[in-house]
A and B are shown apart, each in its own frame.
Chain A
Amino acid sequence: MSIEVKNLKYTYNPGMPGETLALDDVSFEVHDGETIGIIGHTGSGKSTLLQHLNGLIRPDSGEVWVDGQCITDKSAKLVDVRRKVGLVFQYPEYQLFEETVAKDIAFGPKNTGIAEDQMEKRVRAAMSIVGLDYDEIAESSPFELSGGQKRRVAIAGVVAMRPSVLILDEPTAGLDPAAHDEVLAMIETINASMNMIVIFVSHNMADVARLSDRVLVMDKGKIAMQGTPREVFSHEDELSSMGLGVPPVRDILKKIKEAVPGFESDALTTDEAAEDIRKYFGLK
């Protein structure tokens, strides 16, 4: 399982006053089981890129290969593409529409032709992956749930299609800290337990540092940088010139380094930082 993106180009409103080059020669590869974080400020082309990966937008030129199949080819069947590549939009809870949670989650699998007698199993499995209790809420209305639960129902609706690639556009936007953590943990579970490729866009650098194997930095429709979180976040000045930051724990570590010469840490997450501090200062 792999994704190959070759020389994607896409222009919005060609020939119109609002003409913008949204993607400018974008190429990258994603390998089996990887989690990729995409960062870039609003308008850098992230969302346009995501929509190319499951055929919602066709490029002006360039190709997208998923699992050895060229999905930008005119002969590619879009239903197959969408079964292979699951895309969760920003605020996905706004797309819920069925009377019950179970029916809503079953919408995707039904569209891809899953037999009725297989459905309950599918829905149960998807709900368990996103951490929802089937027996408790499968028959409730999705509109009566809390914000965090709604978001997970919406994600389950895509997971239930058993895609090989799961793409999420700002999966934690607008959630409170507790729901935010739950969704992050859920993404980790999906990646680990189903060995799915996960590609997500986020403005939250702490999330990007925690989840990603590799980070792609987008700027003005191009991939400006890519590498492990450690590599990417070491270019603090370059990132800031693109209007991007680094995980906030870096600021705290900087202050500690200034106060205590000799202390070193290139931690990116609070857990790593806490570990480094404990070790150096001999704390429990």
Chain B
Amino acid sequence: MAFIEIRDLTVEFTRIAEDGSEVPGTRAIDGISLDIEQGSFVSVTGMNGSGKSTLAKCLNGLLLPTSGNVSVDGMNTRDDDKLWDIRSRVGMVFQNPDNQIVSSIVEDDVAFGPENLGIPPLEIRKRVDEALKQVGMYEHRLKGAHMLSGGQKQRVAIAGAIAMRPECIVFDEPTAMLDPMGREAVMKMILELNAEGITTILITHFMNEAAQADRIIVMQKGRILADGAPSEIFMTAEDMAAELKRIKDR
């Protein structure tokens, strides 16, 4: 059994018309099935509106399927009793660094998740310190969140996810609003976490980021357009150089 199993997933958004009636809206995800293995690094790419962010929100039950099923470690996201268990195993980091930090002080924000899980205070302290050290923000733990750069805020958000000790983290365009330095720091973090065995799902429209995964899923109009190893989807610079050398030598 795969860690995350997606079967015939369809998500439709209904719109409320001005007279208050429900209008069937767009189909954001159109019948996709996928298995994501424990410990793998999968990137999902596609244009805006391809359904990639909708897919991300289905993985921890933030959105529920219109039809089909998503299960995490055998638990169906439709099962209300399992929802908090699923969310504690599948952490999530969002695009906007500002709008996912709840508390003014860095360490208090990182503690937010574990506090919701009802973990004892001393254990929370330990987890928060470890998480902040891991993302290199420990020395900033007492700073106000609004004093940090975008890249630093995003690392605090990652620490907030790690402190819940998840098995999997879904990154929903985590670098889209960062400058190149912030982007690099966040990508480095993501690779390190995956190397430690955390199942990693990265939603991105930067191809150089997508190419660092073990597997790339390309989405278009709610469907899977391509799914394979980076070498099957892209040609690397090395491949291209080798290919051209072959042409030259011919």
Direct A–B contact present (CB less than 8 angstroms): yes
A: residues with CB less than 8 A from B are: 41-42, 146-148, 173-174, 176-179, 203, 243-245, 248, 251-252, 255-256, 258-260, 263, 277, 281, 283
Query: Which bucket holds chain B's interface residue count?
Result: 20 to 34
Chain B neighbourhood of A174, CB < 8 A: 176-177
A-B contact pairs, 10 of them (CB 8 A): A41-B181, A147-B48, A176-B48, A203-B180, A245-B180, A256-B240, A259-B242, A259-B244, A260-B244, A281-B244
In angstroms, Cα B248 to Cα A252, docked, is: 17
Chain B neighbourhood of A148, CB < 8 A: 48
- Indicate if the CB atoms of B47 and A243 lie closer than 8 Å: no
B208 at the interface (CB under 8 A from A): yes
Q: How far is the CB of A211 from chain B (nearest CB, A)?
A: 18
Residue of B nearest to A262 (CB): B248
Chain B neighbourhood of A203, CB < 8 A: 179-180
Chain A neighbourhood of B126, CB < 8 A: none
B237 at the interface (CB under 8 A from A): yes
- Indicate if the CB atoms of A177 and B205 lie closer than 8 Å: yes
In angstroms, Cα B177 to Cα A146, docked, is: 17
In angstroms, Cα B40 to Cα A124, docked, is: 51
- Indicate if the CB atoms of B47 and A177 lie closer than 8 Å: yes
Chain A neighbourhood of B179, CB < 8 A: 41-42, 203
Chain A neighbourhood of B80, CB < 8 A: none
B231 at the interface (CB under 8 A from A): no
Knowing A256-B241, A281-B247, the reply to whether A178 touches B181 (Cβ < 8 A) is: no
- Indicate if the CB atoms of A176 and B181 lie closer than 8 Å: no
B: residues with CB less than 8 A from A are: 47-49, 149, 176-177, 179-182, 205, 208, 237-238, 240-242, 244-245, 247-248
Knowing A259-B245, A260-B244, the reply to whether A251 touches B237 (Cβ < 8 A) is: yes
In angstroms, Cα B237 to Cα A176, docked, is: 23
Residue of A nearest to B50 (CB): A176
Closest 5 pairs between A and B when the two form their complex, measured CB to CB:
A259-B241, A255-B241, A255-B237, A176-B48, A252-B237
Q: How far is the CB of B112 from chain A (nearest CB, A)?
A: 26
Q: How far is the CB of A204 from chain B (nearest CB, A)?
A: 9
Residue of A nearest to B248 (CB): A260
Knowing A147-B48, A176-B47, A177-B205, the reply to whether A256 touches B177 (Cβ < 8 A) is: no
In angstroms, Cα B137 to Cα A213, docked, is: 41
Knowing A252-B237, A260-B248, the reply to whether A179 touches B48 (Cβ < 8 A) is: yes
In angstroms, Cα B207 to Cα A177, docked, is: 10
Q: How far is the CB of B67 from chain A (nearest CB, A)?
A: 26
- Indicate if the CB atoms of A248 and B208 lie closer than 8 Å: yes
Chain B neighbourhood of A243, CB < 8 A: 180-181
- Indicate if the CB atoms of A281 and B248 lie closer than 8 Å: yes
Chain A neighbourhood of B237, CB < 8 A: 251-252, 255-256
In angstroms, Cα B242 to Cα A277, docked, is: 13
A42's contact among B48, B181, B244, B245, by CB below 8 Å, is which? B181
- Indicate if the CB atoms of A277 and B205 lie closer than 8 Å: no
Residue of A nearest to B151 (CB): A42
Chain B neighbourhood of A173, CB < 8 A: 177
Given contacts A41-B180, A41-B181, A259-B245, 5 further A-B contacts (CB under 8 A): A42-B181, A176-B47, A203-B180, A256-B240, A256-B241
B244's contact among A177, A178, A248, A277, by CB below 8 Å, is which? A277
Chain B neighbourhood of A42, CB < 8 A: 149, 179, 181-182
- Indicate if the CB atoms of B245 and A260 lie closer than 8 Å: yes
In angstroms, Cα B48 to Cα A148, docked, is: 9
- Indicate if the CB atoms of A256 and B244 lie closer than 8 Å: yes
Q: How far is the CB of B181 from chain A (nearest CB, A)?
A: 6
Chain A neighbourhood of B240, CB < 8 A: 252, 255-256
In angstroms, Cα B246 to Cα A259, docked, is: 10
In angstroms, Cα B47 to Cα A146, docked, is: 12
Knowing A252-B240, A255-B238, A258-B241, the reply to whether A283 touches B247 (Cβ < 8 A) is: yes
Chain B neighbourhood of A251, CB < 8 A: 237
Q: How far is the CB of A178 from chain B (nearest CB, A)?
A: 6
Chain A neighbourhood of B205, CB < 8 A: 176-177
Chain B neighbourhood of A245, CB < 8 A: 180
Chain B neighbourhood of A244, CB < 8 A: 180
Q: How far is the CB of A195 from chain B (nearest CB, A)?
A: 32
In angstroms, Cα B242 to Cα A251, docked, is: 14
Knowing A177-B205, A281-B248, the reply to whether A260 touches B241 (Cβ < 8 A) is: yes
